Structure 1
């Protein structure tokens, strides 16, 4: 209930309570507040039991926490057993198709006729085969 309240806040609240109510009346006020919280909790539990009894035996395992939107989505959508989400995820996963394509490419490479003597490729410029067919620059033409 108070999970986001740190120790410094609790000390501050205790000091404020002592200053406001005084050390004499503080135990009486704490008893009144805890009694009120206990009555609210009992009222809440009795209301839950009454709702469960009115719903009937079909809702025997009904929990009110399941009505929270996050719990509802987690339970009914993200589990996905009844919706077939596993099939949809499998259909959208490209790994099976990629594996099939890779296997087809491997088979095509293995079946291709291999040339026994491959022609070596030279990566240097061959200056003798090129002819100087470059046009000369004419500054008056432009």
Structure 2
């Protein structure tokens, strides 16, 4: 069975598809058949305006950043790809700076002039 986060990643605040459908049905009953077409048209305009704003912001970023905008690997910057367990595991596997010196390194012995 898929979890709600799995098939509905775009919705946040704990809202799932089922909860949104219940809210929509309640809203339809509260609005009524007389005002439903007007509210539907208004909702459509809102969605269209949001898409236009997002597209405009993307175009403006592309204009301001120039060719660098297309060179950015957006998949690499996605925070959802980071797994804290993997990051910790890799950090623990890396040799630390306090580990024993390699055989290629030489120890420097400094004698005190005061003894």
Say which structure, 1 or 2, has more relative contact order (CA 8 Å, 6+ apart): 2
Bigger-Rg structure (1/2): 1
The normalised TM-score by structure 1 is 0.41
